[in-house]
Chain A
């Protein structure tokens, strides 16, 4: 089923927003996401460019400075809320999983 725009975040969206809890430029994000996930998640340059465009349009991030070709961004209050909601959703999923599989009792 199609995902409504930003109703839930893809893994790449989630980590890009998470990276931007600190002010970072695009190249930093490209390096930071694999570092944060042990190489499990990697964001392609074209995808990141489009993501940053769409996050800016949606008001999830703010452009903080432009230095030559590099632009820096930071997460906005609205973006932080979306990130928080996604985190809560993932936690709820994990809780449900543990409850249903009995892993909660084992723990």
Chain B
């Protein structure tokens, strides 16, 4: 028979009555709380019993304290005298059990209780929430900047999409917590002034759902990076996994081990702070050194649009009678479930100075996987100075020519059924060259 079990519990910081009710129900089913940690709450099996549970907050307690000392000892002693036994603690948050039928509650003054929770929140919870709010806002801001700057490129970058989604989910989670806390504080304080306690009954549905969505997003993101044929992405994924495990498992475990070894609070805090900053710095530094050492950064051509990465759909030799050996092709591809982009820039070899002024070709092919994005992407491309031109020579549905005031340039936006092509020539293309472009890039 399983004697211990670990559960991920999702409660808001202030929802002590929700936690108390949950722990009392668990005790009735025969599970008593033994430990609270970052990786869930650990329960041990006992006979089903009726208990009373109180979740208490104290801003002076710390998870770095080797034992309950000083004033903390006094609190434990006072609670023990009235039948309340300290069962588990995490940081400034303690759980007491009482097996008496009708015990004297630990908290008999609602104002004191609200003040105690609020003082604790101001010390740890609210700064923590604000930091995450900042991170979420930064993620979303970067995503919005990307959308405004280059919509097509942003939507074709899986990493950017995941980052945007993660930012949004974090913002929902943190926002729900913050709004929930403010609502709790206002209402609990109002009732406390009337001498009444407020029993919160949150089931943490939003928090639970969003937390799991964040986990799924992270897993999908890392899996996507791992399965791509790109050593830089794979290494970044492995590094991320190592750092996530380090932060969520190794660091809390280290704090616990030092606490058990009776290492002083100051030493525990200092060692933890150093490791929290140094190890990620070393790991990321090592990753960069490996990428540079193996020259992966120069070989990196992105991933996705594999068929084009193997062989670009159009090169300058197919348009002009030039020696392709004297040209350098720079290619880059990105592909997300929404769309894929393939960029190519074909220029003369830089050593061949005698060829200065030789023709050059640059194009970006955006392959849309979601048809509803077509108009949006097309409009974002047309934000520059374009004028409509005859699409027939390009075998396109629509064509636009880039303008410099009234002066037409050799840059075009070509619209095909499921793709958009932005192409720039260093010469004025002929009708024949236009139809070659249409055949090669239009997917016709």
A84 at interface, CB cutoff 8 A:
no
Cβ–Cβ contact B193 & A45, under 8 A: no
* Minimum Cβ distance to chain B for residue A9 (Å): 11
B residues 65-87 near A (Cβ < 8 Å) are 71, 73-79, 81-82, 84
- Distance, CA A52 to CA B116, complexed state (A): 13
Q: Which residues of the partner chain A approach B401 to less than 8 Å between Cβ atoms?
A: none
A70 at interface, CB cutoff 8 A:
yes
Cβ–Cβ contact A45 & B73, under 8 A: no
By beta carbon, the residue of chain A nearest B190 is: A2
Number of interface residues of B (CB under 8 A): 27
Residue in contact with A43 in the complex, picked from B54, B75, B108, B113, CB distance below 8 Å = B108
Cβ–Cβ contact B77 & A12, under 8 A: no
Q: Which residues of the partner chain B approach A1 to less than 8 Å between Cβ atoms?
A: 193
A18 at interface, CB cutoff 8 A:
no
B104 at interface, CB cutoff 8 A:
yes
The 0/1 profile, CB within 8 Å of B marked 1, for residues 2-22 of chain A is 110000001010000000000
- Distance, CA A1 to CA B194, complexed state (A): 8
B112 at interface, CB cutoff 8 A:
yes
By beta carbon, the residue of chain B nearest A46 is: B106
Cβ–Cβ contact A42 & B108, under 8 A: yes
A residues 32-74 near B (Cβ < 8 Å) are 42-53, 69-71
B20 at interface, CB cutoff 8 A:
no
- Distance, CA A81 to CA B239, complexed state (A): 64
Q: Which residues of the partner chain B approach A26 to less than 8 Å between Cβ atoms?
A: 74, 77-78
- Distance, CA A62 to CA B74, complexed state (A): 15
Cβ–Cβ contact B108 & A69, under 8 A: no
Cβ–Cβ contact B104 & A42, under 8 A: yes
Cβ–Cβ contact B81 & A30, under 8 A: yes
Instruction: Select the residue from A2, A52, A69 with max chain B CB neighbours within 10 A.
Output: A69
B105 at interface, CB cutoff 8 A:
yes
Cβ–Cβ contact B107 & A46, under 8 A: yes
With A69-B73, A71-B74 as contacts: A51 and B112 at CB distance below 8 Å = yes
* Minimum Cβ distance to chain A for residue B57 (Å): 9
Q: Which residues of the partner chain B approach A3 to less than 8 Å between Cβ atoms?
A: 111, 193
B109 at interface, CB cutoff 8 A:
yes
B115 at interface, CB cutoff 8 A:
yes
Cβ–Cβ contact A30 & B109, under 8 A: no
* Minimum Cβ distance to chain A for residue B411 (Å): 68
Q: Which residues of the partner chain A approach B77 to less than 8 Å between Cβ atoms?
A: 26-27, 69-70
Q: Which residues of the partner chain B approach A48 to less than 8 Å between Cβ atoms?
A: 78
Q: Which residues of the partner chain A approach B54 to less than 8 Å between Cβ atoms?
A: 46
- Distance, CA A10 to CA B194, complexed state (A): 12
- Distance, CA A52 to CA B58, complexed state (A): 13
Instruction: Select the residue from A3, A26, A44, A46 with max chain B CB neighbours within 10 A.
Output: A46
* Minimum Cβ distance to chain B for residue A28 (Å): 10
With A27-B81, A50-B115 as contacts: A44 and B108 at CB distance below 8 Å = yes
By beta carbon, the residue of chain A nearest B71 is: A53
* Minimum Cβ distance to chain B for residue A68 (Å): 8
Residue in contact with A44 in the complex, picked from B58, B106, B115, B189, CB distance below 8 Å = B106
Residue in contact with B104 in the complex, picked from A44, A49, A52, CB distance below 8 Å = A44
Cβ–Cβ contact A47 & B74, under 8 A: no
B56 at interface, CB cutoff 8 A:
yes
* Minimum Cβ distance to chain A for residue B93 (Å): 13
Q: Which residues of the partner chain A approach B115 to less than 8 Å between Cβ atoms?
A: 50
Cβ–Cβ contact A45 & B109, under 8 A: no
- Distance, CA A51 to CA B81, complexed state (A): 17
- Distance, CA A53 to CA B104, complexed state (A): 20
- Distance, CA A44 to CA B76, complexed state (A): 13
- Distance, CA A100 to CA B43, complexed state (A): 60
- Distance, CA A3 to CA B108, complexed state (A): 17
- Distance, CA A26 to CA B76, complexed state (A): 11
- Distance, CA A66 to CA B265, complexed state (A): 21
- Distance, CA A95 to CA B112, complexed state (A): 30
The 0/1 profile, CB within 8 Å of A marked 1, for residues 41-74 of chain B is 0000000000000101010000000000001011
Residue in contact with A69 in the complex, picked from B76, B104, B111, B189, CB distance below 8 Å = B76
Q: Which residues of the partner chain B approach A46 to less than 8 Å between Cβ atoms?
A: 54, 56, 75, 78-79, 106-107, 112-113, 116
A-B contact pairs, 9 of them (CB 8 A): A2-B193, A26-B77, A46-B54, A46-B78, A46-B79, A46-B112, A47-B108, A49-B58, A69-B74
B interface, CB within 8 angstroms of A: 54, 56, 58, 71, 73-79, 81-82, 84, 104-109, 111-113, 115-116, 189, 193
User: Given A46-B116, A50-B116, 20 other A-B contacts at CB below 8 A?
Assistant: A2-B189, A3-B111, A10-B109, A27-B78, A27-B81, A42-B108, A43-B109, A44-B82, A44-B104, A45-B75, A45-B78, A45-B104, A45-B106, A46-B78, A46-B113, A47-B109, A50-B109, A50-B113, A69-B76, A70-B77
Cβ-closest 8 pairs across A and B:
A46-B106, A44-B108, A45-B78, A69-B77, A45-B79, A69-B73, A47-B109, A49-B75
